[in-house]
Every structure is written in structure tokens, then in C-alpha cells.
Amino acid sequence: MVTAIKDLKIRPDVVHCHDWHTALIPTFIDEYSLKYASFANIKTLYTIHNLANQGIVGLDILDYASLSRHLTPAIMEDYYDQDGQVIDLMKIGILSADLVNTVSPNYAKEILGKEYGAGMEEYLLRRKKHLSGILNGIDIDFFNPQKDKYIKKKYNAQNFFTARKINKADLQAVSRLPKKDVPVFGIVTRLVAQKGLDILRDSLESLLPHYDFQLVVLGTGSAEIERDFKQLQKKYPQKVKSNILFDAPLAQKIYAGSDFFLMPSRFEPCGLGQMIAMRYGSIPLVRQTGGLKDTVKDNQTGFVFKNYQAKDLEKTLVRALKFYGQKSRCQKMVKKIMQEDFSWERSARQYLKLYQKLK
């Protein structure tokens, strides 16, 4: 990109960079603007998708990239901070871009504090006036229950409940679970610590012996968490199906066939699963963090718990189980969540406003 600007002599108004992979680009532009007229007044926007992944590399990256250690403040600060002979690309992006944003409004607030700041809170606080959050969107053409080729019965908000019975039975069949009218919880995620699966495991161990419900899991990740879900399936084969793999068609069946969708995340910059689930009429059950807080309202568009503790999640799961029996309230909530707008068109309008601020 930088070479194209220099050699083709094009001058973009804004260069929009994403996560640590592109974090040096604002610095390239700053440094090159001192040498080449074509780089003058190019504005940069840096989007943080997940602050936990910062791009920590050796100091020799600057030599490799032919960047000076003395021309830009962000490089100078990181190079001479005596933190173990490494460069933090995320830090440089935060300090050098004209504007910084995250993938949800609430995450933009959370990362200013130590709990979610991942060591970057000091630098984000400096940029507080230039920091904002815009919720990610989803592909509403692909994630469309009226057109989805992977589900048994296509549907919309009007014929949802007739179709749900068919799609639920299909999910139970492919999962080799009994075809019965019980709440079905779905999980489609990376099986990693961030996703709150430790407290979910403890909650499920408490509830599965006493409540009649089913759980269908899809994902891969850490060996320990994969093992936990395999053991749950072995212990409760009539209630739990753990699919430790990547399977896009099965993911669609889970969205369309589950009654509730679980995302008890420890932290969640935005989260897409809850938005996809809502589009398919699966009621989200989430922790109040990051983009989950921005998209799910307790008792209105799902179920929300605050404290990252198994007992709090367990209570919320019980609430959902009881809610399942209240058919009229269930139907009302499902119709509401299926009408939520999580399209990229909504997000794009907000990004356009950010770009206009950079003029």
C-alpha cells in the first residue's frame, strides 16, 4: 500500500488500518510525509479488533521495514522504553494514528481501564479524545434464514415457530440427540479461555443432572476445553453433543435449530455469534461485556449476567430454562430479536462519519 502511494503518486484521503497486522502503516505515512509530497496530509484511522493480540516483535522489525528510530514519536517511545528489546505494534498504531476506534462502543470504554486494557490503557487514555467504538456488522445476505441452503426449513419472523420445530428436530437428528420438546442451547465459538467456557463448564455440571435440556457445541481450540466438552458428552450422551471441528453448514443448523445461544465471554470486543443467532431467532444468553452489552438487553432481546462467576451464569441459565415454558413471551422476544439491524450498512454509515471527521 505504501509503495503504491509512493510509486503511483496517488493520494488517498484516509488509510484505514486494522489490528496489529497493519499497525505500522500510520508510522510509515508519518515518516514518508517528511520525504515525499504524495504522503502529505494523508489521514489514518486505526481499528482495534482485539487488544489481547498486540503483535510483539523484536526491535529488528524496524530495520527490516526500513523505518527510522528517531523521526516519529511513537517509534521513539516504544524503541527506548526498556521493555525487553521488543516492539509492540499495537501500541505504535494507537499512538501514531489520527483516530483510533474499536469494534463496539462499550469495548472502547472498557479498554481505558486496567481490567480490559491489556497493558495499553495508559496509551489509550492519552488518545481518549480520539477514541470511539463502532459495532461490527454481519453479512445479512449470507446469514439469512429465508435463503440459507444449509438449514432444513427456510423461514422469517412470521413463520418462525412452525419452521423452528423442523429445524430443531433436524439439529437433534444430526446431533444424535433425542427428538423432544426441551430447550436446546447452542454454542458456535473458538474453544478458548476468552469465551467463558470455564464458568460454563461448572454451571453445566451443576444443572445437567437436575434439568431437562440439550446442548450442541461446535468449535475447536485449547486441548483442555475440548476435553471438557468431550467428557460432558460422554457423561450426558442424551443431553450433550460436542462437535470438536470446524463445520460451516452445521453452524447454520445450530443457529436455526437452537432455542438459546450461549456467549458467557470473559471479554468480547464485539462478538458476531450473538448477532447471527438473533437473526435466526435463537435467543442469546451473554455476559455483560464489550459488544455483548451493546447488542443484548436483559429480558428484552436476551438474557444477560454481569459478574464473571459460574453461580451468576447458572442463575441466568435457570431463568432461560423457565422462560422457555412461557410460549407467548418467547414468541414476542424472538420476533423482536429477528428485527434487530446488525447489517454492515448500519456500521458503514457510522464509519463514514469518522472518515469525514478526518478531512
How do residues 173-222 score in pLDDT, each as one tens digit? 999 999 999 999 999 999 999 999 999 999 999 999 999 999 999 999 99
CA 317 – CA 320 distance, rounded (Å): 5
Q: What's this model's pTM, rounded to 2 decimal places?
A: 0.94
Q: Which of 156, 138, 161 is nearest to 146 (CA)?
A: 156
Q: What percent of the chain has pLDDT over 70?
A: 99
| Residue 44 clears pLDDT 90, i.e. is over it | yes
Domain residue limits, the chain: 2-137+347-357, 160-340
Q: Examine domains 2-137+347-357 and 160-340 and report if their fold is the same.
A: yes
Structural fold of domain 2-137+347-357: Rossmann fold (3.40.50)
Average pLDDT value for residue range 131-148: 97
Quote the crossing angle between the two packed helices 160-174 and 327-337, to the nearest 10°: 90
DSSP 189: S
Question: For the segment 220-232, what is each residue's pLDDT rounded down to a tens digit?
Answer: 999 999 999 999 9
| Residue 133 clears pLDDT 80, i.e. is over it | yes
Residue 208 grid cell: 445437567
What pLDDT was estimated at residue 13?
92
Average pLDDT value for residue range 100-127: 97
CATH number for region 160-340: 3.40.50.2000
What is the DSSP track for 74-141?
Answer: HHHHHHTS-SSSEEEHHHHHHHHSSEEEESSHHHHHHTTSHHHHTT-HHHHHHTGGGEEE----B-TT
Averaged pLDDT score across all residues of the chain: 94
Q: Which of 189, 324, 348, 179 is nearest to 259 (CA)?
A: 324
